[in-house]
């Protein structure tokens, strides 16, 4: 079966971001960018499905600026077969991304779509669910285990109280949690080979999708700073402070 994986180019998770002085957003000039960690897990899961003989082809798709080709090449180096970039210079909301992905799904007809559960920049946790709604597919969100058998996929999900397993009819959308797998590193020969793999570039217009949005960001601020407190010398002093100064125990 064909597996479609969506990946996003985001600020590297180790970067401590700064809010711009004019409160228009976060300063991303000259900041290290990487593939969103949850998306890496999605790519790894697809590659493992191919290694098990479940998946026959892995198509990786990204929606974003021209530079997102780097993340697509990374996914190709990890084992994806071909890539699609839907180029959009402006930052899109989850619904617009879901609509574009839905157009790609209609074109590619995958049996399984794997996404990360959330992007670490917008922290929305929406796109997979929205894509499932638009395509009419079942959804297995926050997956920590995925098992395909016949025309069903069993997904073990991380829920608030523990784990839940659901069985979904294919085609389905799965979003990955951190514990689904440990992504591999791309080897140098695979990075070289990835350069020769096909990468198709599309536009929202070509897909006939409107990316209009009902939400706008008015301002972005730094959170209230939390200053360092004091260091205590002993456990006794700590308990004394908590009891008499902070009055929390």
Binding to another protein by residue 1, rule CB under 8 A?
no
Among 161, 185, 188, 189, binds another protein (CB under 8 A): 161
Task: Report which secondary-structure segment, H or E, holds 157.
Answer: strand 152-159
For the bound state, the minimum distance from the C-beta of residue 106 to another protein, rounded and expressed in Å, comes to: 15
Q: Which is nearer to another protein, 1 or 26 (CB)?
A: 26
For the bound state, the minimum distance from the C-beta of residue 23 to another protein, rounded and expressed in Å, comes to: 9
d(CA 122, CA 32): 16
d(CA 157, CA 165): 6
Beta bridge partners of 5: 60, 114
Among 166, 191, 199, 202, binds another protein (CB under 8 A): 166
Binding to another protein by residue 222, rule CB under 8 A?
yes
Binding to another protein by residue 29, rule CB under 8 A?
no
Among 12, 158, 183, 202, binds another protein (CB under 8 A): 158
d(CA 238, CA 249): 11
Binding to another protein by residue 9, rule CB under 8 A?
no
d(CA 229, CA 248): 16
Stretch in the footprint of another protein (CB under 8 A) among 49-57, 74-82, 154-162, 198-206:
154-162
Tokens of 133: 């709604």
d(CA 62, CA 154): 26
Binding to another protein by residue 106, rule CB under 8 A?
no
Contact positions with another protein (CB under 8 A) in 170-209: 172, 177-179
Binding to another protein by residue 216, rule CB under 8 A?
yes
Radius of gyration of the chain (CA): 21
Among 62, 74, 88, 94, binds another protein (CB under 8 A): 94
Return the DSSP state at 140: E
* Closest C-alpha to 66, from 88, 82, 83: 88
Q: How many CA atoms lie within 13 A of 48 on its CB side?
A: 16
Beta strands per DSSP E along 55-137: 57-64, 82-87, 112-116
Among 54, 80, 130, 180, binds another protein (CB under 8 A): 130
- Number of residues forming the site for another protein (CB under 8 A): 79
Q: Which is nearer to another protein, 201 or 242 (CB)?
A: 242
For the bound state, the minimum distance from the C-beta of residue 175 to another protein, rounded and expressed in Å, comes to: 9
Binding to another protein by residue 26, rule CB under 8 A?
yes
Q: Is 24 helix (H, G, I), strand (E, B) or coil?
A: coil
């Amino acid at each position: 079966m064909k597996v479609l994986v969506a990946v996003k180019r985001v600020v590297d998770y180790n970067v401590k971001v700064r809010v711009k002085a004019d409160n228009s957003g976060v300063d991303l000039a000259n900041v290290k960018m990487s593939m969103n960690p949850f998306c890496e897990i999605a790519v790894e899961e697809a590659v493992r499905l191919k290694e098990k003989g479940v998946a026959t082809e892995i198509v990786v798709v990204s929606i974003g600026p021209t530079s997102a080709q780097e993340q697509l090449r990374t996914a190709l180096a990890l084992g994806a077969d071909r890539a699609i970039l839907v180029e959009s210079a402006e930052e899109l909301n989850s619904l617009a991304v879901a609509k574009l992905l839905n157009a790609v799904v209609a074109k590619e007809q995958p049996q399984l779509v794997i996404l990360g559960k959330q992007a670490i920049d917008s922290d929305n946790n929406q796109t997979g669910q929205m894509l499932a709604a638009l395509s009419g597919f079942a959804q297995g969100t926050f997956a920590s285990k995925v098992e395909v058998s016949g025309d069903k996929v069993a997904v073990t999900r991380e829920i608030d109280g523990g784990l839940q397993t659901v069985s979904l009819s294919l085609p389905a959308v799965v979003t990955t949690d951190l514990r689904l797998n440990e992504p591999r590193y791309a080897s140098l020969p695979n990075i070289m080979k990835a350069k020769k793999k096909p990468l198709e570039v599309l536009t929202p217009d070509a897909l006939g999708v409107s990316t209009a949005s009902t939400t706008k960001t008015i301002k972005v601020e730094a959170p209230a700073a939390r200053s360092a407190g004091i260091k205590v010398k002993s456990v006794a002093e700590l308990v004394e402070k908590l009891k008499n100064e902070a009055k929390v125990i």
